Structure 1
């Protein structure tokens, strides 16, 4: 028998005590040993499980390391319900927000709201709340390892919905005081009712936020104050909420509208948020998920077959039929002076055009309608309707703001010193007006490739000496686009014989006196004589941008064969356009080019597709610089050029064929499709002419 010697205090005999083990001969344990072994194994398993639970709860799920939460105690006053007056606009403040490409596809947009003197920015990264007047930060909330997939607001409460990255069954609702950002409650497991991929918002009203079950066949109203259940309602048999749709729901304080996926075709369900009582239910025209928008007392639904308008009782008072009436988004619309003003695309409308229509509510009588540009967004305040047009004019750079009277549709136009590309992903153009400010959110390409959204708050700017349609700049300050290049400049790119195609522009009632764009096409000498455009003679042009056709009338602004100051010469490598000579003036220009550049030009192709466009004349260099920066921010591929000679220049696109240039308060774009480097050379000559 194997023994274990234990050291003990000496007894009377002064010896040690030897104690034998209970192991039986042959190495077998007794019953007590097996019990102790089993208990030890169970204890180890329990300890490991307990450690895992504790680590998950107090480390992995701990708020102290994964939450970044700031609050404020500063008061904020509500804003008045007015926007800026008609006239030029200037930026008051702006804020970019980077896109968050989380693990859930489609929920990478950025959404905004203006309420109670605050601007709320919601993105996958979390919530950011700013002072609507100054743009100063008030409070924010983010969770590391989690993505915000929805948010809601009612009264002075704001609720956010998060999912853990990689584990969609880990869900969390978080309630906040909307003014201070203070945490009110957290609840795990629930999911929002019909959250929108476009706005990230889901319905709430009357102090209640709407949630749903796993199968999306049940609605639950929870208190926005505490998260406690207020009511529960089963959806109609066979129907369930749409999930992951563009905009399947919307709400106001006293009414929530939700699209239902039902057998045969979808339905629109209107619910009282306070009690869960169904106010009305209406079938739609297809089985697709509709785009739902709600105004005060008016609900709009676009389902791919028509746009339908319902009053607060569910009575349809307007319908605009057509599968493309709203495109792939809900039609821009506002409610002003008791009228629904909506912008839609009538059948057969030209690209870039739309129709604006005002209908009385609830009679549905058409008060007025007229053709308009394809407005990207609408907002209303103080009886005025603000409409965002992506381009002030077809050939001009800045966006435009039309201020429309809801009474009769009369319109005034002013430029917005930003560039807008409504096709960029991440945020659909959005507008709101309050406190004398106009808020505009647009998408940007940088930081590439993620992209971002930019929110700009505009206020009324100085009137200037010119018309409001030109931002206060006088018409006479606009140069002639066909006079920016002279005969020596064109000869340097082998355009000794050319035809010009000038294009004019108008904004509202203002017609610019000179062409804003000039296209140069090479011509060959005819046998036995000459043709228009030969030897620098101007070709045909177009009198107006709306009916511009080369060949309509003689150009009044073609370059004349008079010598001008020479520019720095460029090398001929692809996309290089690096200066390698000295600037000279007067009559030496022709001699230099005749001896040097003409010899080199004989070996290179004639420039083709050359267009020089004056895209904008701002009231000052700072405004022009902001506008050019906004232009490059809408482009997927941009390279800054420091060798052109202007104040700022960018090479736009995958090739070197387009140069956007700023010289002082002038913004010019040069396009030359061939040969490589020609656009940079021509832009250099243009920069010298504008100095």
Structure 2
């Protein structure tokens, strides 16, 4: 007879209840165990969420030289997509050049390339995690990650900068004063700076092991800024950190190796300043002034004004014992920009001159490279000024790309090493996320023309007012118009012909005034004589400049509206068609909306903007832009006419 734990009437006995309890306990333990194992070996497992490549290939450091004055050409280039992670404001891309390598840091992770060739060396990224900070010192590189949707889960990881090998990882730490625009946080002398949850302490950790070396409490009532544009910076021997203190912010300088406070300075406002370290000289802009401090905390110079740096930091470099800065002088006209060189030892201004609004500076030896967002208005390419740090004398060269400094994602950046000039800037596509592009430039062919025009002779540039003829204008119902030519110069080179030409119907004459009937090219009395020319169509000899071309005002047909706001601009003449094609592609890459047009008849054409009012076209090595406010489709018809004639 087999025993049963079931009592009379089908009721469970004590043994049955024990088995049920044990079964429930076992099930609960199994669930907990599965959860723990799943979390450890699946959700947090390195084998699936980490993509890590390393290298054993050697790389040699680069000399501290950039390309010589003259035309520039691209040696190599790479694009990095923006990463729009869960933490707002940290979707930028940042770069650095050191030890023969280029580091690209974005929310996706780290990508390290050979600085000479652009070939990949090593990379690190974590699926489901976002990189929110990075630092470098000596031959080590440190990255800070937060898990998407779980900001409390954070991790620091240390790498060998040359091979990419993982040295250590620590959970829970957070970087000290990470920059929102460059994602950098301070490190130096083999020590990386971290902070606590309240941002009231500084901790120095070894970049070789991650172990704590020192800890220091910040001054009473002060804490580190969080989420600021650029609240700290460091080089090997000094770290400067902005402190959010009662009343006004402060600037604290510490020795990264020991944590010893080197100096502490009160700033001019309570807002977060922008801090830049230039080989021992600290630049800080706090909304009231731009100030420069030496290694010992002594103030080297100050440039007053609440708009002295505009909306961003003032570019600056240290070259030959001189601090060279670019700023907006207080009290001068809007947009005025000046470059000054200050002797670091004496604080004396050695030279200064008015300059364009440079977007970035870089130094190599005694030579300063300054990035112009535009070579000149209304020309297409960006420009690079090569400035002598001793005298301020400069030469200008076009860059083979277009820059829009207002695009989000990467602040324009430059570095020079190994005979190359590295430039990073933002692009709009792939839309809507955008991307950053890094271009390594080297010296290009000199050509037969001036360096400021890329070696193209001035005589190769056509007159913008000759690109449209009488029949073209009559077809647009512009058989009576006023022409306004626009001219420009690049450095000391003044182009001999107009680079833009604006066509407008003449203003109506008051009763009793001089008539300006059809075909009239007489400007209004208040128009400057230099800005009005005869209609190019007047040479045709036909009434209205139609030269036998049927008028769009056919008998009985509804009249088309007159084209308004028509401007034709010669944006660039390149040395060859390949260079021009690259530049046109760079133009459309900076546009939030650009559509290729294959019906214009040019080698290439793009419709730019939300409407069809702007057409950029390339014919051979010539790039032309047509703007027509209305009617719809007018810009495309005029662009087609230019393509046929050119």
Please state whether the residue corresponding to 1:18 is helix, strand or coil: coil
Give the alignment's TM-score, normalised by structure 1. 0.89
1:71 aligns with 2:48: no
Question: Residue by residue, what CA displacement relative to the aligned partner does 1:229-276 show, whole Å, maximum 9, x if unpaired?
Answer: 111111111111111111111000111111111111111111111111
Please state whether the residue corresponding to 2:355 is helix, strand or coil: strand
Distance 1:533 1:311, change over 3 A: farther
> 2: CA distance between counterparts of 1:540 and 1:122?
57
Partner of 2:582: 626
Distance 1:522 1:169, change over 3 A: same
Partner of 2:550: 594
Match runs of 1:374-385 below 5 Å: 374-385=357-368
Contact 1:500 1:540 in 2 (8 A): no
Partner of 2:249: 266
> 2: CA distance between counterparts of 1:528 and 1:688?
42
Shift of 1:79: 0.6
Question: Residue by residue, what CA displacement relative to the aligned partner does 1:280-336 show, whole Å, maximum 9, x if unpaired?
Answer: 111111111111110101011111111111000111111111111111211000001
Distance 1:287 1:54, change over 3 A: same
1:641 aligns with 2:597: yes
Contact 1:521 1:610 in 2 (8 A): yes
> 2: CA distance between counterparts of 1:664 and 1:501?
26
Partner of 1:418: 401
Residue in structure 1 matching 2:451, options 457, 468, 480: 468
Residue in structure 2 matching 1:257, options 240, 255, 258: 240
Partner of 1:505: 488
Partner of 1:155: 138
Contact 1:308 1:319 in 2 (8 A): yes
1:49 aligns with 2:24: no
1:18 aligns with 2:8: no
Shift of 1:184: 0.9
Partner of 2:521: 537
Distance 1:463 1:540, change over 3 A: farther
Give RMSD over aligned pairs. Answer: 2.3
Question: Residue by residue, what CA displacement relative to the aligned partner does 1:445-477 show, whole Å, maximum 9, x if unpaired?
Answer: 101110111111110000000000111000000
Partner of 2:626: 670
> 2: CA distance between counterparts of 1:595 and 1:357?
59
Partner of 2:379: 396
Please state whether the residue corresponding to 2:519 is helix, strand or coil: helix
Please state whether the residue corresponding to 1:627 is helix, strand or coil: helix
1:171 aligns with 2:148: no
Please state whether the residue corresponding to 1:57 is helix, strand or coil: helix
Residue in structure 2 matching 1:447, options 430, 435, 449: 430
> 2: CA distance between counterparts of 1:415 and 1:169?
48
Partner of 2:613: 657
Match runs of 1:334-349 below 5 Å: 334-349=317-332
> 2: CA distance between counterparts of 1:143 and 1:497?
65
Shift of 1:653: 1.0
Contact 1:390 1:420 in 2 (8 A): yes
Gaps in structure 1 of 5+ consecutive residues:
1-16, 542-548, 565-587
> 2: CA distance between counterparts of 1:330 and 1:490?
47
Distance 1:602 1:285, change over 3 A: same
Shift of 1:144: 0.6
Partner of 1:615: 571
Number of equivalent positions: 642
Gaps in structure 2 of 5+ consecutive residues:
none
> 2: CA distance between counterparts of 1:58 and 1:595?
78
Please state whether the residue corresponding to 2:459 is helix, strand or coil: helix
Question: Residue by residue, what CA displacement relative to the aligned partner does 1:373-406 show, whole Å, maximum 9, x if unpaired?
Answer: 1100000102111000111112111111011111
Match runs of 1:211-226 below 5 Å: 211-226=194-209
Please state whether the residue corresponding to 1:687 is helix, strand or coil: helix
Shift of 1:42: 3.5
Contact 1:339 1:406 in 2 (8 A): yes
Please state whether the residue corresponding to 1:122 is helix, strand or coil: strand
1:408 aligns with 2:385: no
> 1: CA distance between counterparts of 2:334 and 2:456?
30
Partner of 1:603: 559
> 1: CA distance between counterparts of 2:514 and 2:577?
44
Partner of 2:127: 144
Contact 2:483 2:531 in 1 (8 A): no
Please state whether the residue corresponding to 1:19 is helix, strand or coil: coil
Shift of 1:352: 3.9
Distance 1:513 1:18, change over 3 A: closer
> 1: CA distance between counterparts of 2:393 and 2:596?
42
Please state whether the residue corresponding to 1:622 is helix, strand or coil: helix
Contact 2:480 2:506 in 1 (8 A): yes
Match runs of 1:9-158 below 5 Å: 17-21=1-5, 23=7, 27=11, 29-30=13-14, 37-158=20-141
> 1: CA distance between counterparts of 2:96 and 2:186?
14
